[in-house]
Structure 1
Amino acid sequence: MKQKIFFTVLILMLITAWGAFSGQGQASDKEGDQIGGQDFELERLDTSAFEKPRRPGAVFEHDDHNEMAELDDCAICHHVYEDGNLVADESSEDSSCSECHGLLPGPDNPVSLSNAFHKQCRDCHFDSGKGPVLCGQCHKKE
């Protein structure tokens, strides 16, 4: 009997820990959400280019994020490449990511749309040691 109770409690603790660390079950895009202890009015990144996204669009608040990350140069995220080379001091801020990045990599752009989103956001978060990096921390269920 004690062994059965022990395993039941252990399983419940593992499920609770998984839910807490994966970001699943958190509120999505409601005013007053928190990321890293900061309050944001969240938006969802547009995923309309994907036929059947596996997860909802990542939640993100552009201006609050950039202020907190001290990003002043739009070209840091909204980059422009010509012939495979980064064009300094040029920004693609008036274009959507899907205008350059296709669903699949191709000769004009070797980085798929999904990889472009993930590389841009997740790599910066890893490099800075700040910001969400797990799937459920950005892709919150509605």
Structure 2
Amino acid sequence: MLKKITGILFVLAILGLIVFSINAFSGIDEGTVTDPAFSRKTRGDVFFDHEMHMGAAGVVDCSTCHHVYEDGKLLEFESSEGMSCSECHLGKDGDILPLIEAYHQQCRSCHIEEKAGPVTCAGCHKTP
């Protein structure tokens, strides 16, 4: 009986190791929201898992988040990938949403709409 239990525990340990390895080496893009304009932070970093957001939200077009506007109009299917958000959202132009407001509006409004994800300061920002 002890051999059987030991065998079952061994198999479970191997399965756990396999699941851990797949997760650890899957290439999931995990990190924090970064932008060169955030040189002086007033709150902690925001953790962001790009792959999880793409899969869970069912986002198929990068321009859903990486949008491009011209003359105040959204250019559908145009993407700002590879650009930092601050390249447009530094608030120099009166009609462009300032950077922090842009992040909060983009992230919070999606979390509220999808009824998923944090919407409070402490829910997103890690304690510094």
How does the TM-score come out when normalised to structure 2? 0.71
Instruction: Identify the residue that residue 31 of structure 2 maps to in structure 1.
Output: 43
Rate the CA distance shift 1:108–1:74 in 2: closer, same or farther, 3 A.
farther
Q: Retained in 2: the 8 A contact 1:77–1:120?
A: yes
Gaps of at least 5 residues in structure 1 are 1-31, 33-39
Q: How many Å apart are 1:68 and its aligned residue?
A: 1.2
Kindly report structure 1 stretches of 4+ aligned residues shifted beyond 4 Å. none
Q: Which deviations, in whole Å up to 9, do the C-alpha atoms of 1:17-76 show, x marking residues without a partner?
A: xxxxxxxxxxxxxxx9xxxxxxx8741111441342111221111112211111111000
Ranked by relative contact order (alpha carbons within 8 Å, sequence separation 6 or more), the top structure is 1
Instruction: Identify the residue that residue 124 of structure 1 maps to in structure 2.
Output: 110
Q: How many Å apart are 1:80 and its aligned residue?
A: 0.3
Of the structure 1 ranges 70-79 and 41-50, higher mean CA displacement relative to structure 2 is found in 41-50
How does the TM-score come out when normalised to structure 1? 0.64
Q: Which deviations, in whole Å up to 9, do the C-alpha atoms of 1:81-125 show, x marking residues without a partner?
A: 0000000111111211011111xx232652001011111000111
Q: Retained in 2: the 8 A contact 1:100–1:109?
A: no
More helix by share: 2
RMSD: 2.0
Q: Retained in 2: the 8 A contact 1:101–1:109?
A: no
